Structure 1
Amino acid sequence: MYGTQQRRQNHHHIILNSHRVGIIGGGLAGLSTAYHLLEKNPSTDITIFDQYPTPGIGGASAVAGGLLHPLNPRGKLAWNGLEGLALANKLVNAACEFENDVVLRNKIYRIAMNEDQVTKFQTTANQLPEFATWLDQPSSNSSSSADDALKLSGDCKVLHMKSYMKGLWSSCQSIGTGTKEWITLPEQEEKEDIGTSNNNIEWEERLKDFDTVIFAAGSGLFQTSSLLEKEEFPIHLVGGQSIEMTMNDGDDDDDKILWNAIICGKYVSPMIEKNRVLIGSTHEFKEEPMTPNEVEDELKTRSYHFASGVWDNGTIDRITSATRVQSNRGPYGRLPIVGKLKDCRHHPNSWIFTGLSGRGLLYHGLFGHNLVNMILEENTTEGSEILNWWRPKL
């Protein structure tokens, strides 16, 4: 017992005095981990490896809808939803110190389409009055044909993902005395995934000078010729495509639900540009992605009943796509995968943070915080059963 405690104290002392951390992936998971490491130990040297030259211009995090709220798809509070919301807002506030337009809206509407949902959403409003308000008729000018909605406000927000991630990286760069470096992977690797090495540069060579390595990317970790083996984790790779549209009526009154975010299975979310919205997203398990016509048909069919005004008055600009890592459903729902990797061939002190999927904004702060605590204490059982839900049962 004493020996284990002494080793942890020695490990913690080493980290607090000199620690070089390599983070593979500069999306929500990687940036949250970097921020919490620097907050705990400002002298940490951080290097982020990413396919893109700056944060927020590629990957699943960059094309997300930007909807920050603590509810699950059934309209109930998600596991640790309030703690996740608080820690996410802490990161949002840090990003806002360096970037404008991080927060696009301060409310989100969850439309009720049947009596069962009405009852559930009314219960949520009664239980969580600090951010949930039940509206019988949210707006006579709404683009939705539904009359009832749960309005999420308070700490619930719509974020511009590019501005948020750029601001969060700037915040990381401002903390402490350690070096912060963003390394863009060679161009030939961008065409594949971040684990491919067409120019024979071995990841072991890249990572050999780091004390700790954190695999914090998404699908690139697991796709063909990649860094980690997908079969070793309880995950699926899920394709997602969304549609960006320009509205033609020219009215962007902030009081209209149309210009705020609407969730009802699919979502409609305002973009940073005036009169533009994002509709998403498809959920694709097949190897071949949907064609543009199939994407339009799928999203229109699934969203027209609550966003007819968007489809009737909008013009499609482009379709965005990304592949997400979706974890299998466990006893606490779909939770991210965090923890220490055993026998990783790339580095002896390797950790993982992936599988944020559709709850990336809610959980990136919480699980980044938990992971950093595990790393600093060299405690692979932090949170025990909950955080280690993904490991095989012995």
Structure 2
Amino acid sequence: MSSSIINTGIWSGCFFFRNNKPNPNKSLPPFSRNPKYSSSYMKTMVLSSSSFHSSTILEQPLKFAVLGAGFAGLSVVWNLLQHTSKDSRICIDIYDEVGIGGGASGISGGLLHPYSPKAKLLWKGAECWKESLDLLNIAERANASKDPSIETQNLVWRRGILRPVTNTKNTDILKENSQNFLESCRLISIDKYGAQKLVPDICVPLDSAIYMPQAVNVHPPRYLQALFTACKNLVNDLAALGYDTKEINLLQKSVHSLLELSGEYDAVIVCLGAKADMVQELSGRIPLRTCRGVVTHLELPHDVMGKEYGDHSPSILSDAWLAIQGPWNLVLGSTWDWNSRNYSPHVSASETLNALEELIPKASAVYSSVVNWEFTGARAGVRSMPPLTPYGSIPLLGCVDDIVFHDGGNNLNHKHSSKTKYWLFGGLGARGLLYHGWLGKLMARAVLSCNESLLPSELTSWRKTRH
């Protein structure tokens, strides 16, 4: 397969040149204090030149491969850049055959909040919520910094989310759980009259709904492109200050075997979602299930007067969700096709028809006016679903050297270099937008420190139970 490469950064050969005089007493960056990245490991060369008053040290950069350019991958890239000093030389290659946001991340609905369907705060919900909002702000700033002649499109709609109660068994528990919330994402229990003030055509069959006024709706493809732009801007801003120490490359090609990258990188971080199972060394050895989801795009015809969605009306969560993207556009989802191996984003006519037959009745049960909206397209993605734990269905993180370096049994695979370490960041399921910010920060710190113990034990326990 042919590949295309997008390069950001300033290099001289394969080494970065330090423009300032070396200071032998300068403290090493945090990751350099680890034996894996010790000063003896960081290869250096000394050149003599009449143009220099002293020897100039060429320090080989740390090289990282990030497989996947979705929520997980780009969060890791941003945090690798953020958690190394200006002087630290690093090169990050991002591998994704379909480019930025071309997988399940880019197709997701984009509804962001830290609560379960029963309005209970999710595992580490406060940390995840905060970090996700921080990354959204970073992406918005990058989006605003583009060429002013290019019209800026919304990355985020801050209109809140409304969840009508549709199951009598959940009425009391939803009201009880709604008393405990984050101040930064409040829960308000309202009746049908309160709900209809927010969305005039809303149906509230049990006279109860939960309103999250600070929840947001994200446009995933635009957000991911903006986050990638933020990464490039960071590299270029440092270069403008004289720190030509960072490089990121987007390589639009797939990696079928991790050992293909052995010895070329200091660390390889697998952020491929459901496609992690297509990597030779990981296939069948990670406790993840696949689930294909179809989302449909609807548009309100302009000749339907008085039915446009309110500028400040919230998106809707129910058995189906409606992610509102303006008065005339919404995304309706999602179907759940468990154990599907169909990774194509394209949706056939029959699959589209089945999706609409499933989703429209669910949506019209809470928003009757949806029948006035016209279908304009459908896309699909495959979620990577983690196993259920006492903490809920939470992602899988950790160092996977023991998996990669063995052939599937107990035999050591000798076709590897001890230099490269391999990491997994997977199983984000349907909550990738919530989890990606905080967990991307933790993963970057663990990789730079070469220390899996920096990750919460809840996220690495799958390795102990793996058979």
Report TM bin, short chain.
0.7 to 0.9
How much has 1:367 moved relative to structure 2?
Answer: 1.1
Q: Verify: 1:69 aligned to 2:86, yes or no.
A: no
Which residue is 1:51 aligned to?
97
CA contact (8 A) 1:76 1:120 kept: no
In 2, the alpha carbon distance for the partners of 1:32 and 1:6 equals 19
Secondary structure of the equivalent of 1:387?
Answer: helix
CA contact (8 A) 1:338 1:387 kept: yes
Which residue is 1:21 aligned to?
64
Deviations 1:55-90 (A, max 9, x none): 23x210001000110001222110111110001111
Deviations 1:99-143 (A, max 9, x none): 241112331112212444333333333222622222213125533
In 2, the alpha carbon distance for the partners of 1:367 and 1:228 equals 23
| Counterpart amino acid of residue 436 in structure 2 | H
How much has 1:360 moved relative to structure 2?
Answer: 0.5
Give the direction of change, closer, same or farther, for the CA distance of 1:294–1:153 in structure 2 (3 Å limit). same
Q: Verify: 1:254 aligned to 2:322, yes or no.
A: no
CA contact (8 A) 1:213 1:350 kept: yes
How much has 1:12 moved relative to structure 2?
Answer: 5.2
In 2, the alpha carbon distance for the partners of 1:98 and 1:300 equals 36
Q: Verify: 1:105 aligned to 2:158, yes or no.
A: yes
Deviations 1:318-357 (A, max 9, x none): 1211111101111211111111012425774111111111
Q: TM-score, normalised by structure 2?
A: 0.72
Q: Verify: 1:268 aligned to 2:299, yes or no.
A: no
Which residue is 1:183 aligned to?
251
CA contact (8 A) 1:214 1:352 kept: yes
Deviations 1:202-227 (A, max 9, x none): 7644564211111111122214xx34
Identical columns (%): 24
How much has 1:151 moved relative to structure 2?
Answer: 1.4
| Counterpart amino acid of residue 422 in structure 2 | S
Larger radius of gyration: 2
Which of 24, 28, 34 is the equivalent residue of 1:9?
A: 34
In 1, the alpha carbon distance for the partners of 2:107 and 2:333 equals 10
Q: How many pairs align?
A: 367
> Where do 4+ consecutive residues of structure 1 move more than 6 Å?
none
Which residue is 1:303 aligned to?
363
Q: TM-score, normalised by structure 1?
A: 0.85
RMSD over equivalenced CA pairs, Å: 2.7
Which residue is 1:88 aligned to?
132
| Counterpart amino acid of residue 10 in structure 1 | P
CA contact (8 A) 2:120 2:178 kept: no
Which residue is 1:38 aligned to?
81
How much has 1:358 moved relative to structure 2?
Answer: 0.6
| Structure 2 counterparts to residues 191-340 of structure 1, below 5 A | 194-196=254-256, 204-206=259-261, 208-223=263-278, 226-248=279-301, 249=304, 251-256=308-313, 260-271=314-325, 274-285=327-338, 287=340, 291-310=351-370, 312-340=371-399
In 1, the alpha carbon distance for the partners of 2:246 and 2:455 equals 29
In 1, the alpha carbon distance for the partners of 2:296 and 2:93 equals 33
* Stretches of structure 2 lacking an aligned partner (at least 5 in a row): 1-29, 43-58, 144-151, 239-244, 343-349, 406-415
In 2, the alpha carbon distance for the partners of 1:302 and 1:62 equals 23
* Stretches of structure 1 lacking an aligned partner (at least 5 in a row): 186-193, 197-201
| Counterpart amino acid of residue 378 in structure 1 | C
